[in-house]
Structure 1
Amino acid sequence: MRRQQAFTLLEMLIVLGIVVLTLLISWPSMHRAVQKNAERQFWQIFRQAWQAAQVRSKTSQESTRVVYLRHRNLIVFSWPNDSEQIRVPETLFVKRFNDIEMKKTGYVSPQTEEFISTLDGTDYQMRIQLAWGSYHVQAIQKGPAGNHTR
């Protein structure tokens, strides 16, 4: 009988050790990338909900209220007979968020809401402009000495 060639236990342990070491080294950067992607996805979902509220306001003549529920970490868009909830990622700290009322015409009073990313200290300022309720999110990143850069 011929003896079949196979990996020895030692060789398998060495390969397994290399795989585990590779995973341990890459885990923090992978986890950070997932968290950063969650922040980006939040801003996209928020923009879609905002635009849908504007269209609904103008076509159905329904006002929309946007509130932040701190105890549940949710931003809620509510209008007569329905609502939409958006979960704020754990990496975004809501520094300031006043209740927003989008009128039946789509008009929103000008104001600024603030979020801070705990990932890199980015300060997100959501500035709601006068007129038809458009807004702009400006990301201000802190430099190495704590100075703000854009």
Structure 2
Amino acid sequence: MAVSPVLVIKIVDDSSVGVRARWRDEYVEHHIVLNSVLAYWWANDMPPVVKFLELFESVIKRTINELTPHKTLKLKYDVKTDDTLEKASQIEINLIEVEADDIGFKIDGKTLSLKGLRNSQDESEEKTPFSGSYDRVMETPDIVLKKYMEMKNK
């Protein structure tokens, strides 16, 4: 029986999101510190939900690359928000599939829900809830893949 790698997504102390990739006895873990990134996005008038999705994908890719260097990462997930992506203050992400170079990951903590992503003063009166699916294919540039391979082989 083959052992599948595992991707674990969890909220840690309501202040950060943990992303951990584990395969056999090895694991790599990174955290998204919500207070820091939210403060930056608010100060620079950036849409928090849009920026969080970009950061979330990037952290998953980096975490898996450090565990098992790969050329192609496929992510499939659903998103629900309380307003349009640009105006939302709440998000729910449901991870459906994660695959690195045809190696499928078992997902632990498939659903991630976050609230309070917008400043309270930015609340809009009319809300247009959003629901959508994403099927992303992310490529690792050859030079970056080479560095991950070197790190792994040390």
Shorter-chain TM-score: which interval?
Answer: 0.3 to 0.5
Larger Rg: 1
Greater fraction of residues in helix: 1
Greater fraction of residues in strand: 2
TM-score (norm 2): 0.33
